[in-house]
Chain A
Amino acid sequence: MNTSNVKKIILVLALATSYAAVAGEVSDSDKIAQYREMISDGNPADFDEMRGEELWKTASGPKNATLQQCDLGKGAGVVKGAYAELPRYFKDTQKVQDLESRLLTCMTTLQGIPEEEITARPFSSDTKQSDISSLATYVVGQSKNVKMNVLVKNPKEKEAYEIGKRMFSYRAGPYDFACSTCHATSHVRIRMQDLPNFFDKKDAQSAYTSWPAYRVSQGLTRSFQWRLNDCYRQQRFPEPKFASEATIALTMFLAVSANGADYAGPGLKR
């Protein structure tokens, strides 16, 4: 992305913010479509993707190693197309893993970085970027236009899928909410925000394949683990532990519901 594109994006974001203030009657999806058109040749997530690529290729950690030998499921070092097949079962850890939990495995085993150090900063903030989140943005970018093909073959993959499905409808907390409260009916919204129905193939595909995404309202690129985390916040639940079995199972269920669509991220969102 060159400087003129960067300037253009900054201008568009400034416009977008003022739009949002006046255009109460325009739905969020319409506004997002407008920004997309205006910045069709660049997404600020590109910066995070570049940062992630740099991190991937730079030796670091106590073992002073790069992540270039990391096996994301298609063999050591293969990044291209890897995200379109995640989550999946990994023999070495004997677990089903999503992208972020797999990156965690590679960072701890190859680079020797203590797990607590990584999980202490799973998400970026205004003041500090998260390495694991930038790495995820890099990896997903290498699956752009690759067809989602998440398999449910291995018994552990089947179990993760089934648990994820149950978690989707798991109601609890002071508001009795589950994911299904907000995401199991078509054409509904909260205030002006359209809600995808994950039981509808098209909705599920466009929702899943557009994450991770750059959030215009936050000025940050957000990972899929972050997306789940924030929906659990809105659900009035306690916090799901980063890269936990629960979050992986739920991701498995959502990823499978998106199978067949071309992966389209990193996306751009309100």
Chain B
Amino acid sequence: MNTKWIIAAAVTTALATLSTPVLAAKTDSNLDAKTTEIMKRDFRDKGIAKAERVNQDELQATCSKYLDKLPAKLKLKLEAAQLKTIQWPADGNYMGDWKAGEKLAQSGKGMTWSDKADEPAGGNCYNCHQLSAREIAYGTIGPSLLHFAIKRGDGPDAQRHVYGHIYNAKAYQACANMPRFGQMNILTEAQIKDLVALLLDPESPVNK
């Protein structure tokens, strides 16, 4: 936060105290409540996407409310709670098969109302990330992961970081745009290991 923002914030606070902050806060919370009510009423089951999906957990509700202005203390609290949800591999081994990982990364399937219940979800990774240099149709919502192991190493710390990040990205960045693949049961432990290998195996096209 730069000084301009601090001054702006101070002025806004001062002005808000002069006017009727209680009333404004009340209108806002009425609108928040009304929004939730409408979301619950105006969506319906379609295929595997059931109406109950609009119900928010604490993390979703908090990130919707604060957007990118999440208070630092709250952010740390949320991240600590998310970190606890990560189920680390019981065998202590993080690396799977990068070839299977590449297939998963390519697949954008999963969890929409046009997907079937018995079809496993893909990783959607290329939707948001650059990974292998060979794949040029990659999205840019997330950072480039090209040459990940070359830049970040492939040792136990890097493996644990990548596994954790795929399992629950919110443990590292509370309101990250990346889904929580393990925590939300989108991918299995074995699939996450295949993706760790895609990012970290020296033979993977990501590191060529």
Contact = CB atoms under 8 A, between A and B. Distances in A.
Interface of A: 24-25, 159, 162-163, 166-167, 169-178, 180-182, 185, 187-193, 195, 232-234, 236-241, 244-247, 249
Contacts of A24: 136-137
B114 interface: yes
A127 B41 CA distance: 31
Contacts of B44: 238-239, 241
Nearest to B32: A166
Contact of A171 (B46, B49, B64): B64
Interface of B: 31-32, 34-35, 38-39, 41-46, 49-56, 59-60, 63-64, 67, 108, 111-114, 126-128, 136-141, 170, 177, 179-180, 184-186
Given A163-B34, A172-B54, A244-B42, A188 B136 contact: no
Given A177-B179, A191-B137, 19 more contacts: A24-B137, A159-B31, A162-B31, A167-B38, A169-B67, A170-B39, A175-B111, A176-B170, A180-B67, A188-B141, A190-B139, A195-B141, A232-B43, A237-B49, A238-B51, A238-B54, A239-B113, A241-B43, A246-B41
Nearest to B68: A184
**By DSSP majority rule, is chain A's interface helix, strand, loop, or mixed?**
mixed
Contacts of A193: 139
Contacts of A25: 136
Contacts of A178: 64
A22 B17 CA distance: 61
Contacts of B111: 173-175, 236
A208 to B, nearest CB: 21
A170 B60 CA distance: 8
Contacts of B52: 238
A187 B141 CA distance: 9
